[in-house]
Structure 1
Amino acid sequence: MHPSITTLLNGPKVIPVLVIEDPEDALPLARSLVDNGLSILEITLRSDAALNAIETIANQVEGAVVGVGSILTEAQLNAAQSAGGQFGVSPGVSFKLLQALEMSDWPFLPGAGSLSEMLTLRDAGFSQQKLFPAAVLGGISMLKAVAGPVGDISFCPTGGINPDNARDYLSQSNVFAIGGTWIAPLDLVRAKDWDEIGRRAAEAAMLGS
């Protein structure tokens, strides 16, 4: 079995999914989240500043558990670990990435969007998977449908999660956490509205506690 992602999770089961474009935003953003109860962060590799931000937060924000999202290749996998990421996340898994993951003991949350992908990942030792894009795939209906045939797999749904449906997702027996961009959306990060992000983080922390 691959190292369990849930060993890194404690307290709230809500993971903010972040895009950081300006390296100077890394510290205030991470601190606003951690100080308001969300210590597990997923920083996506969707900007040139991402790896710098990951390194900064990993080294300077006490209590932050830094995950690296949007990993698509072995090179990105290695770069994420070198930057100080404590776990990785992918939207899906290619054959080459899966080969690299099978050689690694780094905690990783691979994305699945179909039963065939779920079974492939389970065979590779991943009993915890990211369901993405959750809402497009059917959301809670999808989770209920797969709970029977792959009842030994638990999920972190991401994609279309918001304050209105977050609690419903978390109530599913095969959901161990949820991920979402609503807590620190790019427009609020660009506006450097750390107070509003902190408020949203505190509300989200209550959802999963």
Structure 2
Amino acid sequence: MYRERASAVPGAVLWTRTADAGAARVLPDGCIDLIWGEDAGLFAAGPDTRAHLSASPPGTRYAGLRFAPGVGPAVLGAPAHELRDRRVPLDALWPGAEARRLTERVAAATDPGTALEAVVLGRPSRPPVPYAPETAAGLAAGARVLDVAAALGVSERQLHRRCLDAFGYGPKTLARILRLQRALRLARHGFPFAELAGRAGYADQAHLARDVRALTGVPLGRLLTR
């Protein structure tokens, strides 16, 4: 069972999950998560370039903070490209004694999600990567990379470097992942695939089908049945 709500941590969503039988397909979304798991302690996840399957014994509890694109590096103190497609124990990012103490605090809490929020709110954050919010907003709205760079007054090469630190990959990959998320939202609202392809920014329905399968490993219709 999966649930989420707005978090007290700015730029984050708090989610909880109890594993059931089978593996959960985790889709790329441009985000970094700080996660506590009964079987894994505290660790950072993502950003992902492709979907991956997460399997745990049924009943295993998780709580996580999903940071909006570009927010996670300031909280975790590591550039996003160092976390790309990885699951990194917190003691590899923060001092080991502190990470162990915080892990024990969250594990002992009646509400691990609220305890996880307290962990983040109790630590200072670094300044965000310059232009990260504006870049994410522009690409999420479907703007071209060239136009986003021009609006920010930087070269495409400068934008690419900043995107690696803020999002874990270049702006073209981020734009592709955010386009996938737009398509999923439209599909869940019942738009026919042919119509949502154009609305989400794909050339046509065949382009939508190819890109969804490449990023998630399954057709769009199968994603909607989960």
Q: TM-score surpassing 0.5?
A: no
Which has the larger Rg? 2
More helix by share: 2
